[in-house]
Every structure is written in structure tokens, then in C-alpha cells.
Chains A and B, each alone.
Chain A
Amino acid sequence: MNSASCAAKISTQPFSLNPTSPASHDRPLVSPKPTSLFLGSTRKLRLSSSSKLNLHRRSGTVVAVSDVVKQKKSKSTHSLLITKEEGLELYEDMILGRAFEDMCAQMYYRGKMFGFVHLYNGQEAVSTGFIKLLKQQDSVVSTYRDHVHALSKGVPARAVMSELFGKTTGCCRGQGGSMHMFSREHNLLGGFAFIGEGIPVATGAAFTSKYKREVLKEADCDHVTLAFFGDGTCNNGQFFECLNMAALWKLPIVFVVENNLWAIGMSHLRATSDPQIYKKGPAFGMPGIHVDGMDVLKVREVAKEAIGRARRGEGPTLVECETYRFRGHSLADPDELRDPAEKAHYAARDPITALKKYLIENSLASEADLKAIDKKIDEVVEDAVEFADESPVPSQSQLLENVFADPKGFGIGPDGRYRCEDPKFTEGTAHV
């Protein structure tokens, strides 16, 4: 493929990996959404053209994002969206997510894992697209569908697999389980079973980041928090409460909606009065963006902008990623209510296949490179299973550990005396 045709391809369809068939045709009950040639919905762009002169805060911010994107496009018509290294990194991360989840399913049916296990197959583009742009100190808060968020954030596959097996070498020493992955080192703040529960927690993490910068005077603290949650959560009160406060206090947070259209067996369209979630952002004074969540490069571009906004102190963003889960809600879900045609439609838009096609067609990587990555990841996942298998189960004494952070749990310090009797403990800035 010569460079001229390469450039031509890019300028007409700058950010699209998939053929331009509108998603809406196969979602009969939704009013048709026009094709996204640009980032976000063109509906948003129409809004912007009519209100260009009307740049007050609510619609203005939406305009700003699309304007920035349009400028970027015109400046860089000849360059690709990613370099070879970035491309391979994204590919490896998505393949790790997919292979890991497939292995989880196998292990569950063999009885090595138990309880509730919720798999992320099909949604890898969202996790990879967002989390790979973060630094170690940025935080991620997730739901019960958190294995792949943990892996993308850097928690080793061994630790996640051991946790799922309930072994003491797991990231939470076997006490948390599939739905409760925590890692202080990688700033993964969970893993919550109740939907909507993680959003206030994420908002709090963002609040801390701002607090550190402004009150504690750590001037370079620009940590961003990402809150991942689903479409069902967007009907929950906590979501709206946090949108309000995050916008009010301009917190460095990005609310990422993984809209996979289904909450167990409840279709998003049956549960929501206005199914277009991104519209709820401007109602609270923040930009609301819709992006094709099956396309990792599109997600990455939107993520760059949203994370950048947060880092610069411009406040929160609501990003709705249209995605799909290839498996059922959990491994116990028979998945009978979803239309096979819908499943087939999204299976054809598999984010990994799409990225692979992009990398090969744009000569960023060869088949051999990608196969090598596939093989490497297979080995990583096999190794994780072996490691988890061979790890010991928690000892009996671990049952009662860590209920409190205070070692004896009764206000008794490590030296055995009551803390309140220690003058150092009661000394503070209070003037008596």
C-alpha cells in the first residue's frame, strides 16, 4: 500500500476503524444515530454549529471539545493516530483482557472460581483506550466487572488470578474476590458490588486530588480519577448527585459510561426515559460525549481530551461509550433475552479485530508481530493460572485479620498502651 492512498484514506475517515455502517440500523427501538465520522455524535456537532455564537457554559463546553478535535484533524491529516509502540501496547492490553476473561470462564466451569464472576469480553476498547493514558498515581474506580480494569491499570495477571481462586497471593489475599479488586500500589480503588457505589468513591478520590493541590499545597498534584460504570447505573440517584458535585467543585474526574445496553436482562431502552446518556452531562454543566466504544482509537482520542481537561483543572467530563458484552451478565446468566442478531452485529465489530486490521493496513505491525503478542499473552495467562493453582489458601488466622487498621482494634497502639493516653496522639494544632 503506497503512502498516497494511505493519506487519502486517513483524510476522509480520520478516526474510523470500522466501515461506516451506522450502528442504529440494528437497534430498532432507538432513533437512528448518524454515523460518527468525527469523535462523538454528529448530533452534538449539529448543536455546536447552531450555538457557536451562544457560548455560555452549558452548550459552550460541548462545542469546545468538538472544536479542538476538528482542529487536530486538520493539522494532522497525514499522520496516524498512534505510533507502532502505542499500537502494540494497545493490542497487547486488549488481548490480555480477552485471554484472561476467557480463561476465567474455563476456570469457573472447572470449579476453581466460584460465586459471582462478571466478564468483560467485548468491552476491552474502553478499558484499554482510557486506562493506558493514565499515570500510576491516577486512580480508577470500577464495578464488579473489574478484572480487565485491574489488568489495564497494571495489577499483575498473577495477582488477579490468585484473587479469583481465593488464594492468599491474590491482590486482596483472597478476601475480596472477583468483584472487589483493590490495589493501593496501582491506585485501583475497587471493585464494588452495588452499581453506583463506586461513583461517589471516585468523586471522592478526585476531590482528594484537588484538596492536595489547593489545601495541602502539593502544587504538582494533578491526579485524575476515572469512574467506570454501566448504563443501568445512569438511572441511579448516586450518579446524578455526583455529576452535580463534580461539576460544582470542578473535580478532576472523568465519568466513563460503558453502555452495553443491558443490565442483566433489563434492556437500557426499557429502563431509561431518555436513553442518550451523554445528554445528562450538559444538564449538570459538564460536556457530554458519545463515542463508539468498540473502536479503541476513537475512545483513546476522546479519553485524551477528557483526561487533559481534568488535569488542567477544567473539571469533569461525561463520556458515554457505546459498547457490548459478548457474554452474559455473569457466568451464571443464561443470557436468553438478548437478540442473536444484535449479538452478531456487535461480534462483527470486535475491537480487537478492528485494531488488528488497522495496525496491519497502516503497516504499523505485521501479522507475525501480532501473533508473537498473542503467544506471549497466552503464556502470561497460563502462568497466572499455574501460579494461582500452586498458591496456598489463606490460613485460618487470616479470617480475623484486617477488620480494623488499628492493630488491636480498640484504640490501642502498637506499643500496647491506649492511644488516648499518649500525649503525642492528642497533641495537635488545637490551642488550649
Chain B
Amino acid sequence: MLGIVRQKMLEQSLKKIRPAVSVLRSYSSAAKQMTVREALNSALDDEMSADSKVFLMGEEVGEYQGAYKITKGLLDKYGPERVLDTPITEAGFTGIAVGAAYYGVKPVVEFMTFNFSMQAIDHIINSAAKTNYMSSGRISVPIVFRGPNGAAAGVGAQHSQCYAAWYASCPGLKVLAPYSSEDARGLLKAGIRDPDPVVFLENELLYGESFPVSDEVLDSSFCLPIGKAKIERKGKDVTIAAYSKMVGYALKAAETLEKDGIDAEVINLRSIRPLDRSTINASVRKTNRLVTVEEAFPQHGVGAEICASIVEESFAYLDAPVERIAGADVPMPYAANLERMAVPQVEDIVRAAKRTCYRSVS
């Protein structure tokens, strides 16, 4: 199901201009606000200071302070031997990092966007993901590939693709997609400590967004489990499963739906591979309806996999067909109005949820 609708100009331009403050009520008494950017920076800082085998590699991570300022201050703190500015050779430096990981150090490779990882994908899949298996457990690859993924604002077809489905289809990789600052911090720390290759899909438009964080999150030993989804909002009428930026949209949709008497449960997937099938299935068995939301191309996407999982395990519990919301099945256009139509909007999620509840869509 494609959700393509014209977004109100004002809302969209506001989204582009300033970061929105999240109004989540599901966190415990939170004193501090932290942006996703700060969360990622602090996670890298913590892990680099705890383990001297962790080092960063990527374009502009050092002197430029990071193309999106995620690695700000780390060069000054850890020096050029641990924060390496590379030439523009994705295939080369990814291969070098994987080789280093074979020997036990822990590289964190930054791709300026995951679109550029296509130049290095041979090493991510063939050299990193498959090695533990091919060597029968003798060589593990404790590497993290991180960077912004998915659509930004007006950056055109070659800078806007979401790679969650591509990487998540490959056994041997762990694919994480954080939404809030807590997710970003916890999942990145977990990924760096993990002995397997981790693909960490951030989102450029979320970097500036602020979320409340509890003291537990700020602790240096804070880690989130890989492979467990989070119920961001409990509900009983329909389950909305999303990852990354779409979780924010799903939460807004849930607020709108509440006014119409539909109590939506929002699941933040957090981990695309391994996918937390048990949480999603348990939720669907409770609500009996499912809407999946993603920004990526629809065919063979995360939503398709979730739908198949539900059909395999909880078919009898479904009261309505699964609704799948994804980006338009076209390369991302540049023109602003076309771009708005190519990415799911809150209204699409609301309409899909209403369709599963057999309510009129108006």
C-alpha cells in the first residue's frame, strides 16, 4: 500500500526549518533533554574512552568535526590515530576497517550517507557479514557501520534511499534503526560492544531533535538489547509498527486517532535484524490489526517481512488485512512538492489505521 498524499505546506516547512521537541509521555521522570546528535556523540565518546581498541574511520570525521557534526570534539580528545579522516574511497576504507576487525580491533566506520555504502557493499556483505560463518566461528568481525539513512530534504534520488531492507535481508549482519536519543545512545553502545558486524541506520532529520533522557540513559554503562522492539505507546485497537523517523509520525498519528476513539499501540522496532517478531506478534494478538510504516521503497521492504511474519504466526488473530505504508515506488524526485508526495505523511498512517478498523476514512 503506498501512502502518498500532499502534506500541508506549513507543517512540512516547519519540519525542515526547526527541530521539533518530542511530546512523548512514555519516559519516566526525565530531567534532561538530549538531541540525537548529542546522544550519538556521547555514546562514541563513552565507548572510545572505555576501550582503546575502538576507533573511528570515515570522511570528514576528524578535522571537519563530522559531516553532520556527530563526531564533534572526538579528534581533539582521542587524537588522529583513533579518529581517522579518510580519502574518498568507500570501498577501500571499508575493506581496511573490516580487515582490522578480523584482527580484533573495533572500528566504527562512518558513511557520509548510507547511499555511499553502495560503493563498499561488497565488503559489508562478503567480507564482514559472511566471515564468521565461512570461518566456522574462528574469525568474528566486531565492526559498526553507521551513518544517516533514508530521505533528507531536497537532496535528490541518489542521496535519499533507505537501505534497511537491503542490509536486513543478509544473514550475519545486525541492523539497528534508532528513533529517540535513548535509542541512539543505547543501541550504538550495544553495537560497538557487539562482536558481530552491525549496520547502524541513523536519520539526518532526527539529528537535531531533542528527547527527554533519564539518568539511567546518561550512565556510561547504559546499553539497550539488540533484537528487542519497544512499545512506545500502549493501545488496544490497532498496532502501528515503524522504525526511525516514522516512529515520530506514528506517534502523531496515534494522537489524531485517539480523538476519533481509536487507541493505537505504537511499536518502535529499534532492531530490523534480528526483527522482534515476538513483540509484534504479541501486540497483534492483542489488537488484531496491524499497520506497518516505513519510508523506504515498498517492494521487499521491512513492512513486507513483518506482514509475512504475522501471517505465518498470528493469521487467526487478524481482523483486517495488514496495511503497509511505504515511500513511493519511484526514485526520490527533487521538486519539493513531488518529494512530499513520495514520502509517507501522518495522514497516510491515520487513514490506514482507520481502514483496518473499518471506519470511514474521512
CB pair B341–A116 under 8 Å, yes or no, is no
Instruction: Using A194-B116, A337-B63 as known contacts, say yes or no to A174 and B333 having CB atoms under 8 A apart.
Output: yes
Residue B158 is within 8 A (CB to CB) of chain A in the complex: yes
Chain A residues lying within 8 Å of B338, measured Cβ to Cβ, are: 166, 174-175, 394, 398-399
Q: Kindly provide the distance from the CB of B332 to the nearest chain A CB, expressed in whole angstroms.
A: 9
Chain B residues lying within 8 Å of A270, measured Cβ to Cβ, are: 85
Bound: A371/B153 CA distance, A: 39
CB pair B334–A266 under 8 Å, yes or no, is no
Residue A115 is within 8 A (CB to CB) of chain B in the complex: yes
Interface string of B56-99 (1 = CB under 8 A from A): 00011001100100000000000000000111110110000000
Interface residues of B in 130-167 (CB under 8 A from A): 152-159
CB pair B92–A237 under 8 Å, yes or no, is yes
Instruction: Return the chain A residue nearest B112 by Cβ.
Output: A264
Instruction: Return the chain B residue nearest A263 by Cβ.
Output: B88
Segment at the A interface, from B218-226, B260-268, B323-331 = B323-331
Chain A residues lying within 8 Å of B64, measured Cβ to Cβ, are: 264-266, 337
CB pair B335–A115 under 8 Å, yes or no, is no
Bound: A166/B335 CA distance, A: 4
Chain B residues lying within 8 Å of A168, measured Cβ to Cβ, are: 335
Interface residues of B in 323-358 (CB under 8 A from A): 328-331, 333-338, 341-342
CB pair B158–A264 under 8 Å, yes or no, is no
Bound: A163/B338 CA distance, A: 13
Bound: A37/B201 CA distance, A: 53
Q: Kindly provide the distance from the CB of B282 to the nearest chain A CB, expressed in whole angstroms.
A: 37
Residue A196 is within 8 A (CB to CB) of chain B in the complex: yes
CB pair A115–B156 under 8 Å, yes or no, is yes
Chain A residues lying within 8 Å of B157, measured Cβ to Cβ, are: 175-176, 180
Chain A residues lying within 8 Å of B281, measured Cβ to Cβ, are: none
Chain B residues lying within 8 Å of A116, measured Cβ to Cβ, are: 154-156, 159
Chain A residues lying within 8 Å of B116, measured Cβ to Cβ, are: 194
Interface string of B99-120 (1 = CB under 8 A from A): 0000000000000000110010
Residue B4 is within 8 A (CB to CB) of chain A in the complex: yes
Bound: A194/B118 CA distance, A: 10
Instruction: Return the chain B residue nearest A237 by Cβ.
Output: B91
Bound: A167/B334 CA distance, A: 9
Residue A393 is within 8 A (CB to CB) of chain B in the complex: yes
Bound: A236/B91 CA distance, A: 8
Q: How many residues of A contact B (CB 8 A)?
A: 40
Chain A residues lying within 8 Å of B158, measured Cβ to Cβ, are: 179-180, 192-194
Interface residues of A in 195-244 (CB under 8 A from B): 195-196, 232-233, 235-237
CB pair A399–B153 under 8 Å, yes or no, is no
Interface residues of A in 86-127 (CB under 8 A from B): 114-116
Residue A341 is within 8 A (CB to CB) of chain B in the complex: no
Chain B residues lying within 8 Å of A348, measured Cβ to Cβ, are: none
CB pair A265–B63 under 8 Å, yes or no, is yes
CB pair B4–A166 under 8 Å, yes or no, is no
Residue A315 is within 8 A (CB to CB) of chain B in the complex: no
Bound: A196/B88 CA distance, A: 9
Chain B's interface: helix, strand, loop or mixed, by majority? Answer: loop
Chain B residues lying within 8 Å of A394, measured Cβ to Cβ, are: 333, 335, 337-338
Q: Kindly provide the distance from the CB of A146 to the nearest chain B CB, expressed in whole angstroms.
A: 12
Instruction: Using A266-B87, A399-B4 as known contacts, say yes or no to A115 and B333 having CB atoms under 8 A apart.
Output: no
Q: Kindly provide the distance from the CB of A358 to the nearest chain B CB, expressed in whole angstroms.
A: 35
Residue A363 is within 8 A (CB to CB) of chain B in the complex: no
Chain A's interface: helix, strand, loop or mixed, by majority? Answer: loop
CB pair A264–B4 under 8 Å, yes or no, is no
Interface residues of A in 253-270 (CB under 8 A from B): 263-266, 270
CB pair B156–A235 under 8 Å, yes or no, is no
Residue A396 is within 8 A (CB to CB) of chain B in the complex: yes
Residue A53 is within 8 A (CB to CB) of chain B in the complex: no
Bound: A396/B6 CA distance, A: 9
Interface residues of B in 160-184 (CB under 8 A from A): none
Instruction: Using A166-B336, A175-B335, A195-B88 as known contacts, say yes or no to A115 and B154 having CB atoms under 8 A apart.
Output: yes
Chain A residues lying within 8 Å of B337, measured Cβ to Cβ, are: 166, 393-394
Residue A403 is within 8 A (CB to CB) of chain B in the complex: yes
CB pair A403–B331 under 8 Å, yes or no, is yes
Bound: A399/B5 CA distance, A: 11
Bound: A266/B60 CA distance, A: 7
Interface string of A165-194 (1 = CB under 8 A from B): 011100010111111100000000000111
CB pair B88–A177 under 8 Å, yes or no, is no
Bound: A49/B346 CA distance, A: 71
Chain A residues lying within 8 Å of B334, measured Cβ to Cβ, are: 115, 163, 166, 172, 174-178, 180
Interface residues of A in 395-432 (CB under 8 A from B): 396, 398-400, 403
Chain A residues lying within 8 Å of B328, measured Cβ to Cβ, are: 399-400
Chain B residues lying within 8 Å of A237, measured Cβ to Cβ, are: 89, 91-92
Bound: A175/B338 CA distance, A: 8
Interface residues of A in 135-167 (CB under 8 A from B): 163, 166-167
Residue A272 is within 8 A (CB to CB) of chain B in the complex: yes
Residue A372 is within 8 A (CB to CB) of chain B in the complex: no
Chain A residues lying within 8 Å of B153, measured Cβ to Cβ, are: 114-115
Instruction: Return the chain A residue nearest B159 by Cβ.
Output: A193
Q: Kindly provide the distance from the CB of B222 to the nearest chain A CB, expressed in whole angstroms.
A: 32
Bound: A176/B158 CA distance, A: 9
Instruction: Return the chain B residue nearest A174 by Cβ.
Output: B335
Residue A55 is within 8 A (CB to CB) of chain B in the complex: no
Chain B residues lying within 8 Å of A248, measured Cβ to Cβ, are: none
Interface string of A305-344 (1 = CB under 8 A from B): 0000000000000000000000000000000010000000
Q: Kindly provide the distance from the CB of A393 to the nearest chain B CB, expressed in whole angstroms.
A: 5
Residue A271 is within 8 A (CB to CB) of chain B in the complex: yes
CB pair A236–B89 under 8 Å, yes or no, is yes
CB pair B87–A403 under 8 Å, yes or no, is no
Contacts A237-B92, A393-B336 supplied; 9 other A-B pairs, CB < 8 Å:
A166-B154, A193-B115, A232-B87, A233-B88, A264-B60, A266-B87, A337-B63, A400-B329, A400-B330
29 contacts between A and B (CB under 8 A): A114-B336, A115-B152, A115-B155, A115-B156, A166-B338, A172-B334, A175-B335, A176-B334, A177-B335, A178-B156, A179-B158, A194-B116, A195-B88, A196-B88, A233-B88, A235-B88, A235-B89, A235-B92, A237-B92, A263-B88, A264-B59, A265-B60, A266-B59, A266-B63, A266-B64, A266-B87, A394-B333, A399-B330, A400-B329
B-contacting residues of A (Cβ < 8 Å)? 114-116, 163, 166-168, 172, 174-180, 192-196, 232-233, 235-237, 263-266, 270-272, 337, 393-394, 396, 398-400, 403
Nearest 3 A-B pairs (CB), nearest first?
A: A177-B334, A115-B154, A265-B64
